[in-house]
Structure 1
Amino acid sequence: MVRRLADRAHAWFDRTPPPVLHPAIAIALDTYTGLYRLRLRAVAEDPAALLHRKPTVSRRARLRLSLPAPAQVALACALFPFPTRPATAPA
């Protein structure tokens, strides 16, 4: 049952992502969903371990996903700056 539920949750992450306003937000969203996919994979591989501990993901796998994200976000912000609007005085 745990594997089936983990597979269902994994399928939710595989759906088409919602439209995003800025590439930097898409990169952050992809990083977070990738980390959750790894955690779901850990649950599906050893469901009985949930009785004794939280599912863990190896440090190497977490770093593989999370280390390039800040550089990618910085590049996305440099290529596509956030639009700014001039401040308006309250009426």
Structure 2
Amino acid sequence: RLDISLENCSNLETAETQALIDCGAEGRFIHQDLVPWEKRERLPCSFRVKNIDGSPNTAGRITHGIWVAYEFTGKKFKDMFHITDLWDQKIILGMPWLESHN
């Protein structure tokens, strides 16, 4: 887990949270409760995802994303995150993140 500071995704200027790094995840994901509706961007096409345990995500298809500026270990990043219900996780950084930032 990483402690990260998020910008541009909540009603607050910045939010502190933890991110789970998951090499089995196929994207960057943010919990839907962190993102107000007015900040969400509709994706060109929706897609289905599975939970960490392999079960279908009960939130249904992912239809929205958000560009998030974030910082950890003194480095700043800006990436598109897909919005869904992540249960007890707030942020999941998957393989695309690992490939581009490792």
Q: Taking structure 2 as the reference length, what is the TM-score of the superposition?
A: 0.22
Structure with the bigger percentage of strand: 2
Structure with the bigger percentage of helix: 1
Give the greater-gyration-radius structure (CA). 1
